[in-house]
Amino acid sequence: MSRHALICRTLQAARTMPVNRARQAVRVAGLLCTNESPSDVFNKKVLNVPSDMLSEDWNPKKPGDGSLKEMIPAWIRERAFFMAGVERAEVLDGFRQVTQRYVAGEINKAKAKELLADMLRRTGYAPKPEHAASPKIDSIKDLRSDRRQDLVLDFHNEQVHEYLRWVRAQESLGANPARRLVRFRNSKKKRDWATRWNKALSQVPHEGATDARQMVALVNHPIWVVLSRFSTPWPPFDFNSGMGLRVVGRSEADELGLLPDPESTPEHRAMMQPQDKSLNEIVECHPEISSQEIRDELARRLEGFAEWTEDGRLLMTDPNGTRVYDKHTLTKIASAKLPEGFFSRQWNSLKQWAKTHTTIKWMPGADATYHAVRYAERTIPETGNEVLWRGEGFESRTALLARIASFTKDSFHLGGNLISFSKDRSAAEQIAKDSGPWKLIIRCDRHHSARDISPAIDIVAPENSWQKEVVFLGRSEFTLSDPTEKGSGQTIIVHLREAQ
């Protein structure tokens, strides 16, 4: 259905609606947001990353680090496509372009405001009469006002740079594992952050965080997300809050009792593991649309990027990002067709990995191994302790024994970016048989981070469906659980369990 046809059909239906509802339906049919101005969503959802992506902060420090530099422009394009579908695109894009130049340091704030004013005139923007600014009233709801433009520019400048600091903080969790919430500048209306902190603390595990007397928590503690108005673990945590984070070193974090030990809960120990979040993981909007036909049309125009939730939210699916899903939902989202000019990096990389289960060849413009691993990372791990099997084959007895010798009494890694197991013992035995005359069968009877990717394999490599594939991430650690046993022929069976 064309945009013109959709609007005409909506106009016909609107004749029987109350005036406000009819106006709302017509705006949505034109793919305009019904309950928020373009800048509202821009303020809350759209992040603009500096364009000088080859600066010191973004130069890869180890293999694979360049992928973040690659993905941020892609995430922005995907997010812009998503938001343009539900907002007045020209105003949104105008704010995005000006803000991006300001954050990158290409223009100062005065020039940015001049460009915004010119853009708003060209697009014919006019606020609602009750929201219009005047010489006496500098309304924040008027996109032309100084207050609103200061909010847009300052907020995004801070959020972009704090996101970069959060990314870098993941590399130094050992030395600087925590952050303290502090006031960096005064604000006209000071919020009660102590009360807000304790309220957030009541909703999350207490391990790894202090109460409001200190307001310190581990970098990856969930309190930061709950504390934030924007559900992000980095500042700003609210508009014009004046609050920020100060680094807390390991010795101080230890004195405050924040660090986990071997007896701590898995959730507490996981807070000391580096995290990875895309810029689009939490993007959503709330268009008030009752017509199923219009809802379907909006979703169709945002093919591959959006889906409706049961409670009426339009959720960005984050196809190349980090939003977590169960194995079946992720398969559906990652395999969905994207609009022309967009590519499903994770799905294409998984397809390449599934053919050989070895290191993926580098593809121009993309770190394919990185994207295949990212796909596995965002799959919800399996619950329960179903026995998993892995088969390896070797050309000689010496090679087999050397492999077994690498399984020390302490925890160890099996090696590789993704470690493939199967739910079917016969599949593991067949893989070992096909790989060499000397066979190793690995039995894992206790695990907590195995990801079942078999629904995806059924599509990208149906010839391998029989393997019933489950994968562990390369960082997963294992320990020996039972004595090694001799199998039939030239086969040895090793019993492992995933380390806690």
Domain that holds residue 453: 388-498
The most confident of 364-368, 462-466, 480-484, by mean pLDDT: 462-466
154 and 234 fall within a common domain: yes
Q: Is 84 helix (H, G, I), strand (E, B) or coil?
A: helix
pLDDT score of 419:
92
- Average pLDDT over the chain, rounded to whole? 78
Domain boundary among 204, 237, 270: 270
Q: Of 270, 301, 332, which closes a domain?
A: 270
Query: What letter does residue 159 receive in the DSSP assignment?
Result: H
Question: Could you tell me the two tokens for 225?
Answer: 């997300």
Instruction: Identify whether 352 is part of a domain.
Output: yes
* Statement to judge: residues 247 and 302 lie in one domain: no
Same domain, 373 and 393: no
Residue 367, CA atoms < 13 Å, CB-side half-sphere:
16
What was the pLDDT predicted at 426?
95
**Whether residue 257 sits in one domain with residue 209:** yes
User: Residue 418 falls within a domain, yes or no?
Assistant: yes
309 Cβ contact partners less than 8 Å away, ≥ 6 residues apart: 315
290 inside domain: yes
The predicted-structure confidence for 12-31, as pLDDT tens digits, reads as follows 444 444 434 443 433 333 33
Q: Residues 102, 227: one domain?
A: yes
181/244 same-domain check: yes
382 assigned to some structural domain: no
Listed in sequence order, the residues at least 6 apart from 285 whose beta carbon sits closer than 8 Å to its beta carbon are 33, 36, 41, 45, 83, 86, 313, 314
Same domain, 368 and 458: no
pLDDT of residue 167: 83
The model's pLDDT over 340-381, given as tens digits with 9 standing for 90+, comes to: 778 888 998 898 888 766 544 444 444 677 888 889 999 999
Is 411 found in the same domain as 290? no
Provide the number of structural domains found in the chain.
Answer: 3
Tokens for 220? 């990856």
Q: Are residues 246 and 149 in the same domain?
A: yes
How far is the C-alpha of 450 from the C-alpha of 460, rounded, in Å?
Answer: 20
Residue 454 parent element (H or E): helix 454-460
Helix (H) or strand (E) holding 340: none
The predicted model gives 206-218 an average pLDDT of 96
Of the listed ranges 36-40, 61-65, 170-174, 331-335, the least confidently predicted one is 36-40
* Helical segments of 335-393, H only: 345-356, 368-377
Predicted confidence (pLDDT) per residue in 170-195, tens digit? 889 999 999 999 998 887 778 899 99
Q: Which of 133-137, 172-176, 383-387, 389-393 has the lowest mean pLDDT?
A: 133-137
Q: Is the model's pLDDT at 38 over the cut of 50?
A: no
pTM more than 0.75: no
- Cα dihedral 17, 20, 21, 23 sign: positive
Residue finishing a domain among 270, 296, 311? 270
22, part of any domain? yes
Matching residue, tokens 């959503």: 284
User: What percent of the chain clears pLDDT 90, i.e. is strictly above it?
Assistant: 35
468 shares its domain with 344: no
Contact 97, 80 (CB under 8 A): no
Query: Does residue 371 sit in the same domain as residue 433?
Result: no
Contact 420, 414 (CB under 8 A): no
* Residue 275 within any structural domain of the chain: no
Question: What is the rounded distance in angstroms from the CA atom of residue 457 to the CA atom of residue 350?
Answer: 8
Strands 438-444 and 388-394 come out as antiparallel
Q: Averaged over 226-246, what is the pLDDT?
A: 88
Q: Do the bridges between strand 491-498 and strand 438-444 make them parallel or antiparallel, or are there none, so unpaired? A: parallel
User: In Å, what is the CA distance from 374 to each residue of 177, 336, 360, 416, 453?
Assistant: 24, 17, 14, 14, 12
Residue 216's identity, in one-letter code, is V
Q: What is the DSSP string of 292-338?
A: HHHHHHHHHHTTTTEEE-TTS-EEE--TTS---B-HHHHHHHHTSPP
The amino acid at residue 500 is: Q
Residue 137, pLDDT score: 58
Strand-strand pairing, 418-422 and 306-308 = unpaired
DSSP 8-state class, residue 380:
P
Does any domain span residue 227?
Answer: yes
Residue 464 lies in a domain: yes
Residues 246 and 336 in one domain: no
pLDDT score of 75 more than 70: no
